[in-house]
């Protein structure tokens, strides 16, 4: 049985712990909101994280296609890219998967059901996911500056048209 299969067996626990770690990067008062409020409009960030984590795990432990993964990562990263995080802090949650996988697979690892080679392959897969996440992050930041530039252009667009410059 592949490591992904074992992880899928533990998906609920894995997703729960991943969500806890992700929300744990916010101040204590905010963690309470992100975890408790269930209305998606009263808690847009918590809701986005909760649903995205589930979808990311399904894709990551299933097909793991970059094309399908991009919009799923975007749901989380687009938010963190404009919050008070450094780029590294924004994306550190991806690397958390390595530690979490070891935690939920403790028994399987101890029982020799998963060997070190498989674990190394899994780590490399997480690293590939991190690189994809980096691309997504950069796209969001570029997008942010494009938005800023477009707004500046819109502001004087009419003036330029009036003087026949466009």
Partner 1 sequence: MAKVPKPNELVIEHGFPQTGWMDTPAVFRPGNFSYPGKAKNLQALGLPNPREWSPLDEDWKLPSNWKQIILEGMRERLDKFRSFKIFMDICVRCGACADKCHFYLGSGDPKNMPVLRAELLRSVYRKDFSLAGRIMGKMVGARDLTEDVLKEWFMYFFQCTECRRCSLFCPYGIDTAEVTMMGRELLNLVGLNIDWVVGPAANCFNNGNHLGIQPHAFKDMIEFFVDEIEAVNGIRCEPTFNRKGAEVLFITPSGDVFADPGTYTLMGYLMLFHQIGLDYTWSTYASEGGNFGMFTSHEVMKRLNSKMYAEAKRLGVKYIIGGECGHMWRVINQYMDTMNGPADFLEVPVSPMTGTRFDNAATTKMIHIVEFTADLIKNGKLKLDPSRNDHLVTTYHDSCNPARGMGFFEEPRYVIKNVCNNFHEMPPNTIREQTFCCGSGSGLNNDEFMEMRMRGGLPRANAVRHVHDLHGVNTLATICAIDRAVLTALMDYWVPDVTVYGVHELVANALVMDGETERTTDLRGEPLPGMEEDSENEDV
What is the secondary structure of 117-131 as a DSSP string? HHHHHHHHHHHHHHH
Identify the CA nearest to 66 among candidates 130, 146, 17, 152: 130
CA distance 115 to 20: 28
**Smallest separation, CB 151 to partner 1 (Å):** 5
**Smallest separation, CB 66 to partner 1 (Å):** 21
Give the residue, chosen from 5, 65, 154, 165, that forms a contact with partner 1 under the rule CB under 8 A: 154
Residue 65 carries which DSSP code?
A: -
State phi, psi for 162 to the nearest 5 degrees.
-60, -40
**Smallest separation, CB 101 to partner 1 (Å):** 18
Is residue 124 a contact residue for partner 1 (CB under 8 A)?
no
**Smallest separation, CB 106 to partner 1 (Å):** 23
Taking CB under 8 A as the criterion, which residues in 21-80 touch partner 1? Answer: 24-30, 33-34, 37, 39-45, 48, 78-79
Closer residue to partner 1 in complex, CB, 81/104: 81
Q: Compute the C-alpha angle 11/50/126, nearest 5°.
A: 55
CA distance 15 to 24: 14
Interacting residues with partner 1 (CB under 8 A): 24-30, 33-34, 37, 39-45, 48, 78-79, 82-86, 88-89, 92, 143-148, 150-152, 154-159, 161-162
């Amino acid at each position: 049985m592949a490591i992904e299969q074992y992880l899928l067996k533990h998906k609920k626990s894995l997703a729960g712990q991943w969500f806890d770690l992700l929300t744990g990067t916010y101040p204590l008062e905010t963690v309470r909101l992100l975890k408790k409020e269930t209305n998606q409009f009263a808690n847009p960030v918590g809701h986005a994280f909760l649903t995205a984590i589930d979808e990311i795990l399904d894709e990551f432990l299933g097909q793991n296609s970059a094309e399908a993964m991009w919009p799923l990562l975007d749901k989380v990263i687009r938010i963190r890219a404009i919050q008070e995080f450094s780029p590294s802090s924004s994306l550190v949650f991806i690397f958390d998967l390595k530690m979490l996988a070891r935690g939920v697979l403790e028994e399987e690892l101890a029982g020799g059901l998963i060997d070190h080679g498989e674990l190394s392959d899994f780590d490399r897969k997480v690293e590939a996911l991190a690189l994809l996440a980096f691309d997504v992050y950069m796209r969001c930041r570029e997008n942010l500056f494009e938005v800023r530039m477009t707004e500046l252009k819109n502001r004087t667009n009419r003036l330029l048209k009036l003087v026949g410059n466009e």
